[in-house]
Structure 1
Amino acid sequence: MTETNDTSGWVRSWGASPQAAHDGLGSLDGHPPLADVTLRQVVRVSGGGRRVRVRFTNEFGTAPFVIGAARVALAAPDGGVRPGSERALTFSGAPAVTVPAGAPILSDPADLPLPALAKLSISLYLPGRVETCTCHDPALETGWTIPGDAVAALTLPASAEVLPVRALISAVELLPDAPARAIVVVGDSRTDGVGSTLDANHSWPELLAERLAEQGVAAGYVSNQGISGNRLLNDGIGVAALARFDRDVLATPGLGYVVLSVGANDIGVSFAPRDDGPLADFLKMFPGEPVAADDVIAGYRQLVARARERGVRVCATTIAPYEGAEIYTPEGESARQAVNEWIRTSGAFDTVLDFDAVWRDPDRPGRIRADFHVGDHLHGNDAGYQALADSIDLSLFS
């Protein structure tokens, strides 16, 4: 039996797409190597369940690393854990495991009842050195490094230091009390939640999860597979969506719905102004030839075909405005409008979420409303992401 489409077993309740440390926003640059330290990271699950397992990742690692011990617990404030909720994780029954280079590894299931929207603390001890850290950049929720083996610490020691990325974890999967389905969102920084308040869980997929939990929708399990700077067709910041789709989306336990919210960076980078200033240095992070609207549409068709092979419903969001951002050009705006027209009218998707309509300024439709962006005319603020989540008809996932 495969778990990819199984709505009666394990369901992914939290996710963060893995990246190479050098392939993100550079948040680990200058950070000391991870060696003889405990990582403590907090994630908020979407739907709840009675058993939990954690997916650790070395998928971009160049050498194996050892997890000497690992624990999960209900998170308490300031990096602490709720006493009595701690559960030691094992791996094929053993308390330690070597994670091979290029591979993920699942923990054994642990009995730990988790309500919807619970915050889960994940601690893992690294007795040796991690040569290359597979991570997700940025984290948007504070994590810490603690010297030595501190997986059993109930409170955060004074020696703890902030960890600037999601390191070595990529998913939390739960066994629900009733059949459930996962919604996986694949996208870029606007999906990732850039511009939202740190530690507040205010990306639009997380806010959607809150609405689903409030309504008790069975498909209340939302996995955010956004990567800041990501593109549909070409690598650059993170592996291209076309290349990571099988791993990050189609292999998701309990997969029921896919939401495609990618393509903005393909257009923005391809049509961005070319000069010798700071923007030119930024654009060097995005290799490959420029693409046109038809190329983005072709990429969407590929993702739809691959998702439909798994029997899941496919949604798409229109591409939101970006006039006023450094990468904006009128040519890029024309391409955005062409892609959006196709998304709205092609019939390629089971449903369309018109994020462009939600965010655009009625007086200047090429721009985001001033009260919805963080100041850069590109990324949402908390109110902007809330507006996107609130615009979604929850009956689409029932």
Structure 2
Amino acid sequence: MTENEEAGWVRTWGTSPQVTDAVFTDVTLRQELRISGGGRRVRVRLSNEHGTAPVTIGAARLGLATPGGGVQPGSDRVLSFAGRPTTTVPAGAPILSDPVDLRLDALSRLSTSLYLPGRVEACTGHDMPLDVGWAIPGDAVTATVLPPTAEPLEVRALISAVEVMPSGPAEVVVALGDSRVDGAGSTVGAARSWPDRLAERGVHVSNQGISGNRLLNDGMGPSGLARFDRDVLATPGLGSVVVSIGGNDLAISCAPREGGPLDDFLAMFPGDPVTADDVIAGYQQLIARAHDHGVKIYGATLAPYEGDDIFSPAGDAARQAVNHWIRTSGAFDAVLDFDAVWRDPDRPSRMREDLHAGDHLHGNDAGYQALADSVDLSLFG
């Protein structure tokens, strides 16, 4: 591959690696995903970045997915690593497959198959996957039809990105955020998060949302500040980033603690309480780091959440203070006013009833569509 080709890689799908509880032994993981922009060559990024031991990949394949977990005949490609069909990924490291020739249209649905001959614990992956996947006993990477022994996967395992060589100039928009970026509340297997919907408008998008994630403190995955270099700035073809995170920091800090199940939930989030000023300072760090790399950075206002158990008037006041700063400071290169899209005009601390998933916190399919439709495409490219 030439140097010019290497410079042309663009991430067309991504998910933020985190540690999972999944354990696998002598199994094939078949996982489907929908890319954003198309290309003429493709490579896959696997991650053992949160693993505690090396992971051996005994065989790997990539192809176009067909309904029910199958692979389209003629599209199947063997994935190799430095020319070899097997590889061992060191603990704490990612690995890129060799490129394969496979012409992909925008919004193609891919099937990846990874055979794990040994035992894998502390599997790096992604919780709450909204794409479908299966675990199949033994080496089944060549199966074009899903075997009856397959069982549904509860996590996205090992695969963290897909990159393409596009036919023309292209830039990636990275969405950095929490469950509202991840797509919680949308239809599983249908690619209906707002980053997925934005991709349908002709944009290469990498979704770096983690459900429960915070800007300032670890907990549900590394904090936004901690993972910004890996999940955003290291993205091939990066053009801009949309920051949609910080709401959990404020809601958790201000949530009522009165004993009972909510206290058990809040115990999952370590760290001292934070204020609106703390979140704003965190944004300023992201802005400086993005601008140091010549990357445009856009701030999304924090949407309302009254009606969820974690709601408090103090948390909502902090949210409103942060939103005022996002809208008026001029610190971000542009503002995406997601709060204005989702709030009930008659009760601004609540989401519109037709846009949430029944929990007053996450969007439904229509809610995420509304966010994607509100984005000004002139900000990209």
Is 2:64 aligned against 1:79?
A: no
Per-residue CA distance 1:57-111 (angstroms, 9 max, x = gap): 1001000010010000000110000000000000000000000001000000010
Is 2:33 aligned against 1:43?
A: yes
- Out of 229, 246, 263, the position equivalent to 1:280 is 263
Following superposition, the deviation at residue 7 of structure 1 comes to 10
- Out of 45, 57, 63, the position equivalent to 2:53 is 63
Per-residue CA distance 1:160-218 (angstroms, 9 max, x = gap): 00011100110000000112110001000000000001111000000000012xxxxxx
Per-residue CA distance 1:245-275 (angstroms, 9 max, x = gap): 0000000000001110000000010000002
Distance (whole Å) between structure 2 residues aligned to residue 65 and residue 232 of structure 1: 30
8 Å contact from structure 1 (residues 49, 177) kept in 2? yes
- Out of 334, 355, 373, the position equivalent to 1:351 is 334
Distance (whole Å) between structure 2 residues aligned to residue 142 and residue 168 of structure 1: 14
Task: Specify the alignment match of 1:331 in structure 2.
Answer: 314
Is 2:239 aligned against 1:256?
A: yes
8 Å contact from structure 1 (residues 8, 179) kept in 2? no
Task: Specify the alignment match of 1:215 in structure 2.
Answer: none
8 Å contact from structure 2 (residues 125, 158) kept in 1? yes
Following superposition, the deviation at residue 132 of structure 1 comes to 1.7
- Structure 1, gaps ≥5 residues long: 23-27, 213-219
Task: Specify the alignment match of 1:209 in structure 2.
Answer: 199
Task: Specify the alignment match of 1:112 in structure 2.
Answer: 102
Task: Specify the alignment match of 1:9 in structure 2.
Answer: 8
Task: Specify the alignment match of 1:171 in structure 2.
Answer: 161
- Give 1:117-132 correspondences, 5 Å limit: 117-132=107-122
Letter matched to residue 138 of structure 2: G
Q: Which runs of 4+ in 1 moved over 2 A?
A: none
Distance (whole Å) between structure 2 residues aligned to residue 163 and residue 42 of structure 1: 11
Distance (whole Å) between structure 2 residues aligned to residue 338 and residue 131 of structure 1: 43
Distance (whole Å) between structure 1 residues aligned to residue 227 and residue 135 of structure 2: 29
Distance (whole Å) between structure 2 residues aligned to residue 357 and residue 397 of structure 1: 21
Distance (whole Å) between structure 1 residues aligned to residue 40 and residue 258 of structure 2: 55
Is 2:42 aligned against 1:52?
A: yes
Task: Specify the alignment match of 1:20 in structure 2.
Answer: 19
TM normalised by structure 1 equals 0.94
Following superposition, the deviation at residue 8 of structure 1 comes to 5.6
Matched residue of 1:211: which SS? coil
**Taking structure 1 as reference, are residues 394 and 7 closer, same or farther at Cα in structure 2, changes over 3 Å only?**
farther
Distance (whole Å) between structure 2 residues aligned to residue 345 and residue 272 of structure 1: 27
Identity of aligned residues (%): 69
- Out of 388, 391, 394, the position equivalent to 2:371 is 388
Task: Specify the alignment match of 2:302 in structure 1.
Answer: 319
8 Å contact from structure 2 (residues 32, 132) kept in 1? yes
Letter matched to residue 361 of structure 1: D
Task: Specify the alignment match of 2:190 in structure 1.
Answer: 200
Distance (whole Å) between structure 1 residues aligned to residue 368 and residue 37 of structure 2: 20
8 Å contact from structure 2 (residues 125, 159) kept in 1? yes
Following superposition, the deviation at residue 351 of structure 1 comes to 0.7
Task: Specify the alignment match of 1:374 in structure 2.
Answer: 357
Distance (whole Å) between structure 1 residues aligned to residue 63 and residue 360 of structure 2: 39
8 Å contact from structure 1 (residues 47, 115) kept in 2? yes
Distance (whole Å) between structure 2 residues aligned to residue 375 and residue 177 of structure 1: 42
Letter matched to residue 230 of structure 2: R
Distance (whole Å) between structure 1 residues aligned to residue 366 and residue 62 of structure 2: 32
Distance (whole Å) between structure 1 residues aligned to residue 7 and residue 50 of structure 2: 31
**Taking structure 1 as reference, are residues 85 and 7 closer, same or farther at Cα in structure 2, changes over 3 Å only?**
closer
Per-residue CA distance 1:3-42 (angstroms, 9 max, x = gap): 9xx99600000001000115xxxxx4xxxx3111000000
Distance (whole Å) between structure 2 residues aligned to residue 62 and residue 393 of structure 1: 42
- Out of 75, 80, 85, the position equivalent to 1:95 is 85
Distance (whole Å) between structure 1 residues aligned to residue 169 and residue 350 of structure 2: 42
Letter matched to residue 300 of structure 1: Y
8 Å contact from structure 1 (residues 11, 176) kept in 2? yes
Is 2:133 aligned against 1:134?
A: no
Distance (whole Å) between structure 1 residues aligned to residue 223 and residue 119 of structure 2: 29
Letter matched to residue 391 of structure 1: S
Task: Specify the alignment match of 1:190 in structure 2.
Answer: 180
Distance (whole Å) between structure 2 residues aligned to residue 243 and residue 62 of structure 1: 19
Distance (whole Å) between structure 2 residues aligned to residue 223 and residue 17 of structure 1: 9
After superposition, the CA RMSD in angstroms is 1.2
Following superposition, the deviation at residue 131 of structure 1 comes to 2.2
Following superposition, the deviation at residue 135 of structure 1 comes to 1.0
8 Å contact from structure 1 (residues 7, 254) kept in 2? no
Letter matched to residue 326 of structure 2: I
**Taking structure 1 as reference, are residues 64 and 7 closer, same or farther at Cα in structure 2, changes over 3 Å only?**
closer
Task: Specify the alignment match of 2:278 in structure 1.
Answer: 295
8 Å contact from structure 1 (residues 8, 178) kept in 2? no
8 Å contact from structure 2 (residues 55, 90) kept in 1? yes
Letter matched to residue 338 of structure 2: F
